[in-house]
Every structure is written in structure tokens, then in C-alpha cells.
Chains A and B, each alone.
Chain A
Amino acid sequence: EAGVAQSPRYKIIEKRQSVAFWCNPISGHATLYWYQQILGQGPKLLIQFQNNGVVDDSQLPKDRFSAERLKGVDSTLKIQPAKLEDSAVYLCASSLGGPNQPQHFGDGTRLSIL
């Protein structure tokens, strides 16, 4: 089966600019996650979708971050305006759903803010 696809792989922008990331989960996976992974740390959940509804976005900085999952498949994560502390790898993962199901991760997008 095809894995979780993410693009772009790398992105460099200046602070206060905007950026968007795209994720295509594994076909049939109902649950989709976006994580922020700062260098040297574990992934931090930003938002979790179940189909096209938001399950958890408690750690999403909503003043600058937004995410959507149209039609319960692809998802986009946007940052506007970017800050220096947003430099990180943004990981997308998907699963069949259920707490015992493993997550399948994409390669991530490495974002550098100048």
C-alpha cells in the first residue's frame, strides 16, 4: 500500500510570511494527525481529525495555525504569519482509528524560518 505522502519536503521562509503543508493519508484511514517536532524533542500533537471533523486541537496555536481536512481525505496545515519558533519538522500521520491502532507517518516537512 502507498504510504502517507507529504509535501513539500523542505521549506525556507522569512518570519511573518505564510506557508502551507499538504498531507495525503493512507487510503481508508479515518484518523489524521499533524505533529510539530522541534529538533531534539518528541512529536507534539497539533491537531487530530476523525474523518473531516476535529477531535483535538488543544495544542494548535489558533492565532497563526489553521488546518483543514476536506472530504475526510487530504489535509492542509497553514501557518500565517510564521515566527522564528515555528522552525521544526511537521509530521503527518494517519491510522485506521482506535487507540490501539499504530500510526503511519509521512516523511515530514522541514520548515526553516529566517
Chain B
Amino acid sequence: AQTVTQSQPEMSVQEAETVTLSCTYDTSENNYYLFWYKQPPSRQMILVIRQEAYKQQNATENRFSVNFQKAAKSFSLKISDSQLGDTAMYFCASTTSGTYKYIFGTGTRLKVLA
């Protein structure tokens, strides 16, 4: 079975600093995909970054990057130069090549402090 675990319910960071959100997953599949989604207080969920499991290189999108440790089944999100607009719930999710079914973690509430 596919599982996604986020062990940090809440985190806070000072504006302009760096923060790392943790995510671990479990799957028996060889081909799978990992995602981080952001859900601001307005509620619409948007994609932050994605990683294909077969790629060794960590994905990067501007201030957002991941640390993908395949052997440890770990997929953390690093936010550099944090901005007030980064305040949101962040969800880690995974899918496998066999299905298009997303499994979401329970989320981490991030608050960026001025």
C-alpha cells in the first residue's frame, strides 16, 4: 500500500530565512512520482514542485527545492528566502505509474513571520 507521512503539523519561519518541511513515503512500486502542493488560506490547492522517482537530480523551482532520498524514502521541501505569501498548508503527495491515484499526507501548516 502507498502511504505518505508528514510528521510536522505546524512550523514557523522568519521572513527571508530558509525552512525545510519533511515528508516520508512508502510504496512497493518502482515507478512513482512525488509532489508538494500548497494550500493558502483561500483554499485553492496549487502545485509547488514535483519529482520523478527515476531521476536522481533533485527538482528545483525558483525558491523551492527538494531533497529526494530514494533509499530512505524521504522527500523534503526546502523554501529559501521565505516570503509572507508562503504562509499556507503544504501537502506532500505521491502517485504510482500503475494508477493515477494521489495519496496525500496530513499536511504541515507553515507560518512566515514578519
Contacts and interface: CB of A to CB of B under 8 A. Distances in A.
Contacts of B32: 99
B97 interface: yes
Contacts of B101: 45, 48, 55-56
B44 A105 contact: yes
A105 B106 contact: no
A91 B100 contact: no
Interface residues of A, number: 28
Scoring A42, A95, A100 by chain B CB atoms within 10 A of each residue's CB, the highest score goes to: A42
Chain B: number of interface residues, binned into ranges = 20 to 34
A100 B47 contact: no
Contacts of A103: 45, 47, 102
A45 B102 contact: yes
Interface in A70-102: 89, 91, 93, 95, 97-102
Contact of A41 (B45, B98, B106): B106
Interface of A: 3, 31, 33, 40-45, 48, 50, 55-56, 89, 91, 93, 95, 97-103, 105-108
Interface of B: 4, 31-33, 35, 42-47, 50, 52, 91, 95-102, 104-107
State the 7 A-B residue pairs at the shortest beta-carbon distance, nearest first.
A42-B104, A105-B45, A99-B95, A102-B47, A100-B33, A42-B106, A43-B104
23 contacts: A31-B100, A33-B102, A41-B106, A42-B105, A42-B106, A42-B107, A43-B104, A45-B101, A45-B102, A48-B100, A50-B100, A55-B100, A56-B101, A99-B97, A99-B98, A99-B100, A100-B50, A102-B35, A102-B47, A103-B45, A103-B47, A103-B102, A107-B43
